[in-house]
Each structure stands twice: as structure tokens, then as C-alpha cells.
Structure 1
Amino acid sequence: MRLYTTTFLMVLAFLLLTLVVGLYVSQKPTTFRTYAVGNKRFHTTTLVVTILATVFGGGALMRELPNVHELGIHRIVFLCARPVSFWIMSLLGLRMGPFMEHLSVAETIGSVYGKYPRIIAALLGICFSLGIVSIQINVMSSAITMCIDSIDPRMVTILATLILITYSIFGGVRAITITDILQFATFTIIIPLIIKLVFLKTDQSFLGVVSLLQKQEKFQLSKLFHFDKKLMKLVFDDLSIVFMLTPSVLQRAYMASGPIQVYKAFLRVTLFSFIIFGAIVLIALLVFIGNPTLSATEIWPYILADISPVYKGCVLICLLGMTMSTADSSLHAAAIMVSHDMVESIRGIKVASYLCQLRVAKITTLVVGLLAMIVTVYYPDLFELTSFVFTFFFSFFVGSVIPLFILAVFGFRGSTHTALIGMGIAVLVDFSLEQYLKPKIGICFAFFPLIANFLAMMVAHYLLPQPAGKGWIGHSRQQKRMQQLIQAFKKYKKSIDLE
């Protein structure tokens, strides 16, 4: 009993600290915009931290360690490709000038393609956000079960979920951003500690670890270029992950003061993502050296075996920080899409009182959080839940919404019918691949619906009659000015390098 009391008290202290910080920094919003995206005066470093905290959920650590342990170099390359999506977002951010006053990606789509594409984008974004929150609650439950035996894990999971719902409801984006900084700080401090613990379990020197890895076939570069089903699966997974822009990550772009800050923030996120993924890969490699015969379910018990309750509490706090920072951002994104996009689109007019929108947003946060807890009851297995969320919610959102967003950012102004045709084709292609092709060959073609959406919209636009004013538009004066500033900065940097 005493062994787990220390761990439990550490976790309880962390949860209470998170709640106190979240409520303390909460301010009564004077407008709904303040509740949704803040005052748009966030420092770039603050944006970088909250984006990283949103991206790296507990599932990234819990799920990727077994994957790297089992798949070797293939999974490592897959993880290295993940930050490319943030680099793409940094380039898209430079063109987001006309949309920076929006509150969500659904509003951007609605401003270009009309009411019905906006409703569909919001619905898909809400479903995907619900799935992400469910994954994070599942990770909480699994982590607490591994570290605390003396107390019912469900009680701590419910407590942690209610805490993140509470400060998300009352604090809005400001409370979420500040708590993200706290949670990301705990993550960055404790991850090196986990690396140290796992390294000590190997009983090897650093050179010994490198020597042993070189002898393992699954971690050799030659294995990467050996064409087989795993390599084909890796390629198609990488293609789809390049456009892994979730509603919560996209909403962080709308918190920026302008396109230049979006560009800077996501460019730095790209760099730090490589470092964080590298740390995750290093932990997996050290676990493999310690015991290469472990199964997926035995990896975390191996890491937590024979460590003090204080260290065990640190590991659990790290996982809770990662899960809560991702879950609260997804809860907030879902709340904005319901209270702003759905309500405004259905009513056909802007809501007169922001108090009504606030009330709807708070109720949505509570309902989505509780629904996510129910989902985890039906999908208690993390890998099964993750597969379900990414097979349906993720692929539908990416295939249907992201192409419309990218085209809008690049100056395409399509009609409602054009957008609906593209969305419909994406869903049809995705459903057909999942039902008929994937069961036969075992490869996910999540990239194909996205391409199908692009092609369908272009075909519909150029072959069907279009209203006046639809088509491609040139760069605005602001975009041209930004391009000139970027080119001047590159020339200046090049001149310094030559000196």
C-alpha cells in the first residue's frame, strides 16, 4: 500500500496544480472571440509550446514505443516524416492572410464554399476531436492502471478528465494555453529521466548500445530499401501523414497575430518535433537492447519494473501531462465548431449575444468530454481505439476537409456544389478502400481520398457551369508584401553566410 501512496499523492498534487493554474489564469471573456482564440497577442514561443503540447499526446508515447520495438527502421522513418506536416502548415500560414480573423477551419471553408460545406467540415472536425479525446482518456486509464494498484484507476481517470473539462469550460483558450505550458514543461523534464532509467536497465555503455543495434537486421538501413509489404505500407502511411492537420492544430494558427507568426511558429514546431520524436525512438531502442523479446503489452511493465515510487510517479505525471494537453485542445476545438460554426450556419445569422455562444461552447465541452469517456468503455484497447479513430474520423476529415482548406488558401474560390462533389467523392473513395481493398492487401490508402477530392473539385469546376466570380484569384496586396519580405530576408541571410 505504501509503495503506491507516494505515486498517488504525486499524481494528485499534479492534477490539483493543473486545476488551480487553469482556474487562476481564467478571465471572464468580453467577447466570444477572446474565449475562442484569445487576444491574438500570444508570444511566438507560447504558440510553439501550445502547438507541441497539442500534437504530442500520451498516445504518441504509449503507442509508438511498441511500434518501433516491433517494426524497427520502418517505423523510425515513419516518425521522422511526421514533422513534414508542420513544415507544410508553416508554408500554408504565409497565405492565410484573408482568413486570420476566422475562429476555425470550418469557418474558413464556409467563407469560400458556403454553408453546407461548413456544416460538414464542422461535423467531421467534431467527430475527429471526440476520437482524439477518447484516445487520451484511454491512455490516462492505461497509465494509471500500470502505476497505481492500491486505488481504483477509474477514480483517478475520472478525476483527471473532470479537471481538464473544468478549466476548459471556464478558462477558454487562455487557460488551455497556460496549462499546456505547464504540462509540456513536465513532459520535457521527465522524458530525459525516462531515457536515463531505460538506459540503466540495458547494463550497456553508449558504444555497446550502438554496436548491438548495428547487429540487428530490423534496424539496418539496408532493410529499409528491401521492397516488401511493410515498405509499401510505410510509403502510403507517410503520404497520408504529411497532411495530418487536426482541427485543434489548425485552430492554433488562428490564434496567431498574422501569417508571419503562423509561419515562424510552425517552422519551430517542425524542428522541435524532430527532437521529441528522436527521444521517443531512443527510448524504444534502449528498451529493445534491454530485452528484444518483449511483446507490445510487456514494454511498459518492463520500463516501470523495479523503479522507486517517486520515479513511477514522474512517469505517470509525464503521461498525464501529454494526454491532458492534447485532450483539452481537442475539447476546445469541438466546442468552437459547435457553438460558432454549427449554430451560426443553422441559424443563418450571427448569434446576437456572445453569452449564448459561450453557454453552448461550455455545454459542448462537457458533453464531448463525457461522450469520450463512454467511448473508452466500448473500446478499452488503445490500439483498437486508435485504429478505429484514424480509420474513420481521421481519414474522413483529412480526405474531405484538408483539400478544401488548401485550395482556399492558395486562392481557389469554388462553388458550394464543387465543394460538395469533392467531399462526397472523398468519402466514397475512402469507404470503398476500407471495405474492399484494405481487407485483401492490408495496406491503408488514406492518401487516395485526399487526391480524389482535389481531382473531383477541379473536374467539377471546369466541366460544370459555375457562378460568376468563382475560380482562382491572384495574390492580395498583403500576400505580395509578405513574399517580398521573405525574399529580402533570405537574401540578407545568404549575404551573412557568405561573409
Structure 2
Amino acid sequence: MSLDIDIIIFIAFLVTNLVVGLAYGREVKTISDYSLGGRNFSTAALVSTIVATFVTGSAFFVTLSKTYSDGLPYVIASSCISLGFFITGIFIIPRMGEFMGALSVGEVMGTLYGKHVRLITAISAIIWNVGGIAVQFKVFGTLFNYFVGIPSTYAIILASTIVILYSTFGGIRAVTYTDVIQFFTFGFVLPTIAVIIWNHFKSLGFTVEEAIENPLFNFEGLSSLQGYKLIDFILLALYFVFPKVGPINFQRISMASSISQARKAWLIASVLLITINLIIAWIPFLVLTIKPDLEPNQVTSYLIDNYTNLPLIKGLLIIGVSAMAMSSADSFINGSAVLFGYDIKEVLNIKVGHLVLSRLFSFVLGLFAIYLALSTNDLLAMVMSAASFYLPIVGIPLLLAVFGFRTTEKSVLIAMAAGFITVVSWEVLGIKLNCIIFAMLVNMLVLFGFHYIFKQAGGWVGIKDYSYLEKSKKEKSRMVCALVRNIQDFSFIEFCKEKAPKDELNYMWLGIYFIIYGFSTMYSTRLELVGDQSKVIVVVYQIMMVTGVVIAMYPIWPPRIKHEIIVQVAWHIVIFYMLIVFAVFFVMVNKFGQLQFALFVLNILIATILTGWRLGIGMSIVGFYFGLELYKYYAGINEIDFTVGSPEFVSIYVVILAGAVLLMFFKPKQEHQELTEEKNEHLSGRINMYKEQIREAEALKGRFIRNITHEYHAPMTGISSMAQVLVQD
């Protein structure tokens, strides 16, 4: 029955992706639609497709086996991909203004260095993508062979056909929105599997300290890396950290609506990538402690045999890893189709429409990738081999072009040939070290050497589009000046006046909540947990109840006591110690009881809503410290255990999680509210100015009418008198 449910889940997942992909691809009319999708994607969709594309199914299996066998060195090296994305967002994307909107990396290289460079770039990029597609298709077969026991050929053909169909007909919009589904799928599945293994780990009596004692995961073990292992670690870390402007990377940047959106998306993606990588690495880290005698390639089968017996878990793991594989494969297919149907077509002058040729090549490429997947077993070797045919050939000239270096077509072609020869020589000589970094270095040295020795045209001509950099520089300068001015003009009293509520009912409702919170705390705190320091608890209870009653009675305070400044300052102080300090204290006293833990989280959110996200986060951090100090005084201890899995560690995790939630949800809303209030204040000022001008105009009109009446009567009197004289005569 469990097997049937798992199969149903997987088929439903495939069908959902197919329907969504084809639905969003209906509007594809041109090659630009097929490649960039109109460049009107939201930042969230852009982040999802970036993360989903570069969190691959093959990386999941490789991380499981390599973390189990190599330990911390591989985790550190592979996590450097996040640093590479961060470098891309900070230094590279802001300099790509002139390339935004280009359909492919081949188009850019062709514009700079001619059709021959464009053709080589397209072919190299396609070779890289083909290796990536085949690896992801291989993951489908590995999954079904492990989980279901059916021949991998059927799984590869089934899942790959779905990906090929919506990638071929849907274009980048289909790829992007299916990536969103796939991102949330594996984003849910991976933590679920990690938690299941963690619970099993704890039930066996293991601790994280014991696991860290393993030399593979001990920081001291890094110093023992020598010889081949040290060089391999450095080269692998450099490979991951190097900011790659590959065909898919370039497409994800170019499809953004602006440099600002692309930069923001890549910076967010860098944080998500390292988080996902650490979650995946956490799984073999625990498995190594529980079962240290496995072969690295047996880690996956061990997970299946021991942690997928619960209903739905196997199906979730299947679709989670499948999502990682599909989200990468569809991106590689789309990118390759554009390179062939646009760049190679233009160079070779193929007499077929761009869109038709792209779709035809997408389908043929998918079939070829299926063939490769059925005939290859080494995932990591395939990935690295495919990458070695792009980065050492195209990576350096393109990256230098982004930073403003230009040279001639001859220089670039010779440098590309040097990089390619280095890769081939490395393979022929059978050198086991990763050749990509060395080949890229050779490419760069030959490029610079030929350019300057033979005095080629160009050089460091600079970036053509400085608009974003100039705008960013001005914005940073403005923000620094505003920060300095705010610090110089800051007044705590004025700040409290501005943030405190004006309505008396707000004080009353807060006091009532304090009373309810106090009674809830008394109810949830069991006497056996109080211990000998009951006096401390009693004093805290008294402070809580007195504070609640006094604040609740604020509307009937005597006017002489209702001094505005005192109340506004007290508003922030009572929120600080009642909602944060005491919440931390009692959640520790109650050993993270369910009710008290819920109140702890609720109080942090309420404090932030009432004081604003900036002050709320600051209060939470400082209040957390004071709450722990109060607990240490109460418990009579000097140190608190913050090891992974301990209640104290959980509390820190909750504070960080709450802070992240506040930044994601409350920050934009409160900033919008503040901006709205500023606009209202500005408009109110302008309305008052216009009213004053109207009053002045009314007064002027009155004076004008009075003067007109006076001036009118004077001549009319003379005329009337003369008329009377004439009548009498």
C-alpha cells in the first residue's frame, strides 16, 4: 500500500509539472519569449529558479557520498558555491548593464569578438549543458532503482520525457514556474528527512559532541590535509568559489527586469544555497556517527532501508530529489536550445525559424541526454568533464569583458585554444587533479600575453554602462549621510514619542494582555520545576501582575500623573522586560514546555509589531541576553549548554527564525506604512499651504472688488450729474 501511495505521489508530481509548464508556455511566440520570457518575473520567482537550477539532483547524491567519505573538507569546499554567488551579486552583476537583455552568452561573445568566437562559445556551452542534463536524467534512474526496485531505464525515460516536453514547448516561463514548484518541493522534503534522522540519532543516545570528535568533522583535521588531498581540496574550493558566468548563469541574470533585481536575487540565492547544502551535508554527518562502516556509495541505500519505512516518506524523498534533478535539467535544455536555435543558426545561416529550430534541437538534445544517462555511471566525473569544456575556454574572456577588458578576436581564439589543449593534455596524461582551475589560468595568461606582446587593440577600456554603479554609489552616499544625520539628531525621548501609541485604549489592551500572560505563566510553570529559588519566581510574578494592572488602568490615571514623556518611555521599557526578558526566563524555567514556548514566540512577534521591526529585533537580542542572565541567577549556574539539540540551542534558533520572519514579512509592510505616513504628512502640508494660498486669494479678491466698486462709483457719479444737466437744458 505504501508503495502504491509513493508511486501516486511521484506521478502526481510529474503531471503537475507538465501541466504548469505547458500552461505557462502558451504565450511563447518568439525566440526572445523562449529565452527571456518577457523579463517580467518577480524577484521571488527569479530566486526560486536560480536556487532550483543550481541545487541539482546529482549534487544531492554526490554530497551524501563525498561528505560521508571526506567529511568537513568537502562540506567547506562545496559550500564555497554560496560565496561564488555572493561575489557574482556584489562585483559582477552591477557591471553587466550593457549585456542585460541579451538572449544568450553566445550573442554577447559574438558581438564582442565575431562569429567564430560566438560559434565556439555556443558549442562549448551546449557540451557543458549536455553533461548536466545527462547527470540529472541519471538521477531519475538511480532513484527508482533504489526506492522502487524497477529498472532505471523506465524511470529515466518517463521523467525525462516530462521534462523534455515542457522545456521544448514552454520555454523559459515554463522552466521558471516549474522551478518554483520544484524549489518548494525539495525545500520541504530535505528538512523533513534531516529531522527524521536527527530524531533517530537522539533516540540512540548520541550527541553532536561525539559526532564532531570524528576526525573527518573536526576542524583540527583540516590541518592534517597534505599532498594530493590538500591540493584537491584547494582546487575544488576554488572551482566552487569562482564566479562563473556560464550559459545558464548568464540567462538568469539577463532575464531579470533590471540590474537591481538580478543583484538582489543572486544575493538571496547565495544564502539559500549554503543553507540547503548544509542541510544535505547534515544527513551523512549523522549517518557516519550511527553507521561508520558503510561504503560511501551505500549511504543512499542505508537511508532508504532505515528512514523511508513510514507512510509517504519514501514518496516525499522521491519527489524531493526528482525536483532537484528536474529543475536543473529543464534549465540546461532550454539554455542549450537557445544557443543552438539562435547563435549557431545565425553563424551557420540555417534556413529555419529561430523558435522552430530551438524546439527541435531541445527535443533531440533531450533524447541524446537520455542515451548518455543510460550509458554512464560516474556522476561527479561527468559533471566536471562537461564543465571543463566551457570554463577554461569561454569563462575567462567573458569575465574579463564584464570588467571592461577588450581585445581582438585573434587573441580570444588563441586563448580558447590554449585552454582546450590544457584540458585535453590533462586527460591524456591521466593527471588525477581537477584541471579546470589550471586550464582557466592558462587561458588567462595566454590571453594577456598575446594581447600585450603583439600589441592588440583594446585593453582595459572600461565598462560601457556605468548607470547602475553610479546610481548605487549615490544611493550609498545618501544612506551614509542619512545615517550620520539620524545618529547626530537622535533623541531617545523624541523616538519614544514617535513610536508610542496616541490612543489610551492601546495601553489598556496591552495591560490586559500582560495580566493574561501573567496568569498563563503561573498556570504553565509547574511547582516541581521551580526549585529552591521560589523567591525569584514570586518577585517576577509580582512585577508582572503589578505592571499589567497599572498599564490596564491607564485610561483612569489622574491627569497630573499622565505625564506624556514618562508614559511614552515606559511603553517601551515594559514591553522589553515583560514580553522578552520574562518570556526568555520562563521558557527556560519550564524546560521549553509547550504553552510557555508558544507564549515566548508570540511575545517576540507582539513586541516587534508594537515597536517596529528594527527596535523589535534589537530588543529581542538584548532581551534574550538579559533573560538568560536572569535564569542563570535563578538556577545558580555560570554557563548554559548551547550544544546542538539542547533547549537553549532551540531558543536561539527560534529567535533567529523569528527575526528572519520579521524581516521577510513585517519589514516590507512597516516600511510601506512609514512611507505612506510620510506621503500623507507631505500631502497634508501641501494641502495646508494651498488652503493658506486660497485664503490669501479670497482676501485679495475682496479688496479688489471693494476697490472696483469705489472706482466705479466715482466716474459714474460725474456721468450721472452731467446727464441730468443735459436733460434739464
TM over 0.5: yes
Residue type at the aligned position of 1:410: F
Count of matched residue positions in the alignment of Structure 1 and Structure 2: 482
Map 1:342-357 to 2 at 5 A. Answer: 342-347=344-349, 356-357=353-354
- 1:245 and 1:407, CA in 2 relative to 1: closer, same or farther beyond 3 A? closer
| Cα displacement (A) at 1:107 | 1.2
Where does residue 470 of structure 2 map in the other structure?
Answer: 481
Residue type at the aligned position of 2:128: F
| Cα displacement (A) at 1:313 | 0.5
| Cα displacement (A) at 1:287 | 1.4
| Cα displacement (A) at 1:108 | 1.1
What do residues 241-281 of structure 1 show as CA deviations (whole Å, max 9, x unaligned)?
A: 22344322221111012222221111111111111111111
Partner Cα distance (1:496, 1:403) in 2: 44
- 1:11 and 1:492, CA in 2 relative to 1: closer, same or farther beyond 3 A? farther
Where does residue 396 of structure 1 map in the other structure?
Answer: 389
Contact 1:398 1:450 in 2 (8 A): yes
Contact 1:253 1:262 in 2 (8 A): yes
Map 1:441-452 to 2 at 5 A. Answer: 442-452=432-442
| Cα displacement (A) at 1:154 | 2.7
Where does residue 298 of structure 2 map in the other structure?
Answer: 298
Where does residue 215 of structure 1 map in the other structure?
Answer: 213
Partner Cα distance (1:152, 1:450) in 2: 40
Contact 1:209 1:289 in 2 (8 A): no
Partner Cα distance (1:20, 1:480) in 2: 41
Where does residue 196 of structure 2 map in the other structure?
Answer: 197
The reply on whether 1:5 has 2:4 as its aligned counterpart is yes
Contact 1:74 1:231 in 2 (8 A): no
| Cα displacement (A) at 1:485 | 3.8
Residue type at the aligned position of 1:448: F
| Cα displacement (A) at 1:481 | 2.2
Which secondary structure does the structure 1 equivalent of 2:207 belong to?
helix
Contact 1:190 1:314 in 2 (8 A): yes
Contact 2:239 2:437 in 1 (8 A): yes
* CA RMSD, Structure 1 to Structure 2 (Å): 2.1
Moved more, 50-59 or 300-309: 300-309
The reply on whether 1:406 has 2:399 as its aligned counterpart is yes
What do residues 392-448 of structure 1 show as CA deviations (whole Å, max 9, x unaligned)?
A: x21221111111111111112211101001101111222223332x53xx3224211
Map 1:38-53 to 2 at 5 A. Answer: 38-53=37-52
Partner Cα distance (2:363, 2:66) in 1: 33
Partner Cα distance (1:139, 1:21) in 2: 22
Where does residue 454 of structure 1 map in the other structure?
Answer: 444
Partner Cα distance (2:364, 2:474) in 1: 45
Where does residue 464 of structure 1 map in the other structure?
Answer: 454
Partner Cα distance (2:57, 2:461) in 1: 42
Where does residue 579 of structure 2 map in the other structure?
Answer: none
Map 1:304-319 to 2 at 5 A. Answer: 304-306=304-306, 307-319=309-321
1:326 aligned residue (328, 339, 346)? 328
Which secondary structure does the structure 2 equivalent of 1:38 belong to?
helix
The reply on whether 1:224 has 2:214 as its aligned counterpart is no
Moved more, 426-435 or 336-345: 426-435
| Cα displacement (A) at 1:327 | 0.1
Contact 1:114 1:415 in 2 (8 A): no
Residue type at the aligned position of 2:70: L
Partner Cα distance (2:222, 2:88) in 1: 28
- 1:486 and 1:75, CA in 2 relative to 1: closer, same or farther beyond 3 A? farther
Question: Which segments of 5 or more consecutive residues in structure 1 lack a partner in the other structure?
Answer: none
Contact 1:54 1:249 in 2 (8 A): no
Identical counterparts, % of pairs: 28
2:428 aligned residue (423, 435, 449)? 435
What do residues 344-371 of structure 1 show as CA deviations (whole Å, max 9, x unaligned)?
A: 12229xx8xxx81111111111111100
- 1:400 and 1:490, CA in 2 relative to 1: closer, same or farther beyond 3 A? farther
| Cα displacement (A) at 1:288 | 1.3
Where does residue 573 of structure 2 map in the other structure?
Answer: none
| Cα displacement (A) at 1:297 | 2.5
The reply on whether 1:273 has 2:273 as its aligned counterpart is yes
Contact 2:128 2:390 in 1 (8 A): yes
Partner Cα distance (1:189, 1:489) in 2: 40
Partner Cα distance (1:89, 1:113) in 2: 23
Residue type at the aligned position of 2:427: E
Partner Cα distance (2:55, 2:486) in 1: 34
- 1:419 and 1:301, CA in 2 relative to 1: closer, same or farther beyond 3 A? same
Partner Cα distance (1:457, 1:42) in 2: 37
- 1:375 and 1:471, CA in 2 relative to 1: closer, same or farther beyond 3 A? same
Partner Cα distance (2:479, 2:440) in 1: 33
| Cα displacement (A) at 1:3 | 4.0
Where does residue 376 of structure 1 map in the other structure?
Answer: 373
Where does residue 259 of structure 2 map in the other structure?
Answer: 259
Partner Cα distance (1:492, 1:33) in 2: 42
| Cα displacement (A) at 1:31 | 2.5
Residue type at the aligned position of 2:362: T
Which secondary structure does the structure 1 equivalent of 2:224 belong to?
coil
Q: TM-score, normalised by structure 2?
A: 0.63
Where does residue 416 of structure 2 map in the other structure?
Answer: 423
| Cα displacement (A) at 1:47 | 0.8
Which secondary structure does the structure 2 equivalent of 1:7 belong to?
helix
What do residues 468-488 of structure 1 show as CA deviations (whole Å, max 9, x unaligned)?
A: xx3322344425524424533
Greater Rg by CA: 2
| Cα displacement (A) at 1:290 | 1.9
Which secondary structure does the structure 2 equivalent of 1:225 belong to?
helix
Partner Cα distance (2:249, 2:219) in 1: 33
1:341 aligned residue (337, 340, 343)? 343
Where does residue 359 of structure 1 map in the other structure?
Answer: 356
- 1:321 and 1:493, CA in 2 relative to 1: closer, same or farther beyond 3 A? farther
2:381 aligned residue (373, 376, 387)? 387
| Cα displacement (A) at 1:202 | 2.3
Question: Which segments of 5 or more consecutive residues in structure 2 lack a partner in the other structure?
Answer: 491-729
What do residues 158-188 of structure 1 show as CA deviations (whole Å, max 9, x unaligned)?
A: 1111111111111111111000000111111
Contact 2:58 2:379 in 1 (8 A): no
| Cα displacement (A) at 1:489 | 6.3
Contact 1:11 1:313 in 2 (8 A): yes
What do residues 437-472 of structure 1 show as CA deviations (whole Å, max 9, x unaligned)?
A: x53xx32242111111112111111122535xx332
Partner Cα distance (2:24, 2:486) in 1: 43
Partner Cα distance (1:291, 1:220) in 2: 18
Q: TM-score, normalised by structure 1?
A: 0.91
Where does residue 88 of structure 1 map in the other structure?
Answer: 87
Where does residue 98 of structure 2 map in the other structure?
Answer: 98
- 1:237 and 1:195, CA in 2 relative to 1: closer, same or farther beyond 3 A? same
Partner Cα distance (1:497, 1:191) in 2: 44
Contact 1:85 1:245 in 2 (8 A): no
Partner Cα distance (2:176, 2:159) in 1: 17
Residue type at the aligned position of 2:476: Q
Partner Cα distance (1:495, 1:259) in 2: 28
What do residues 102-141 of structure 1 show as CA deviations (whole Å, max 9, x unaligned)?
A: 1111111111111111111110100111100000011110
- 1:73 and 1:492, CA in 2 relative to 1: closer, same or farther beyond 3 A? farther
Which secondary structure does the structure 1 equivalent of 2:28 belong to?
coil
Contact 1:137 1:373 in 2 (8 A): yes
Residue type at the aligned position of 1:285: F
